[in-house]
Amino acid sequence: MTSGRFIAFHSYKGGTGKTTCIVNLAALYAKMGKKVCLIDFDVYAPSLSSYFDVSPEYYIHDLLSGDVGLHDVLVDYSRKLGVSGELHIAFSSPSKDDIHSLEIRYDDNFQIKALKQFLAVKKQLLEREGFDYVFVDTSPGIRYWSINALASADTLFLLLKINKMDIKGTKKMITEIYDALTRYGLDTYLMLNKVPGASPMYSYDPDLFKKVQTEIEEYLELPIFLSIPCFCDIQFNMDEFLWAINKPDHPFSKKLQEIPSLLADI
């Protein structure tokens, strides 16, 4: 048996900061000495290869097709990151043809075979390769590959911003998807990101925000795991994806540093 965790990040729509959070969290765990795998399963709009400035020989698409094995896809970024642990990344192809192929060119038989391949990859990562954490970034919304990635996860963090569109859309996804997955054992938590109030003139006050958090929890009927204030200096910085490593004393990094102890309790 393995003690590793398979954790997915999802959102109703783009712009929630989902990818920034998951990449920084994966890097943070690697810095803590953990063996971490980060999977870019946002197959419809992949971005991690640009973030990390990597052009791998093989992508997730090749793995799902059965053309290559797990070790062909994983890129060891540990040395470049300069951490005591390990960070291995599986990238999705940014090629328009590859993106199109997963949704259009292949029939149901291919998708079923690819899903079985993905489940086998999960088992290999946690049991044979001994990864402590596997983080999966997914495509926003109700998409085929996102739903299957969520169904494979042990824990799901559902990111959203505090606006009506995000909250109502998230409610719809909870009703249509997450309720069923939760019944099969998926632990689902809300993570509020880009919470207003962290500006040069107005500091973020968690006590004042508690009422809003309670209202969101009651409406969505899911617990809030963490609330992260909005920091414009991160949102518009080219190196946002490694902020937790490069700026460990920044309030955003400090917020992410709360996650390991919180996650250990669930």
Per-residue pLDDT tens over the stretch 160-216 = 998 899 999 999 888 887 777 777 678 899 999 988 765 544 555 667 678 888 999
Lowest mean pLDDT among 95-109, 126-140, 141-155, 241-255: 95-109
Q: What is the pLDDT, as a whole number, of residue 171?
A: 92
Neighbours of 238 (CB within 10 A): 6
Strands annotated E in 98-165 = 133-138, 155-160
Mean pLDDT calculated for residue range 238-256: 85
Q: What is the pLDDT, as a whole number, of residue 201?
A: 44
CB 235 within 8 A of CB 199: no
- Give pTM, 2 decimals: 0.89
5-264: CATH topology: Rossmann fold (3.40.50)
For the chain, domain boundaries:
5-264
Q: What is the pLDDT, as a whole number, of residue 100?
A: 72
Instruction: Assess whether pLDDT exceeds 70 at residue 40.
Output: yes
Q: How far apart are the first and last CA of the chain?
A: 19
State the Cα–Cα distance between residues 228 and 217, nearest whole angstrom. Answer: 15
Mean pLDDT calculated for residue range 23-49: 92
Per-residue pLDDT tens over the stretch 91-135 = 998 888 777 776 665 566 776 777 788 888 899 999 999 999 999
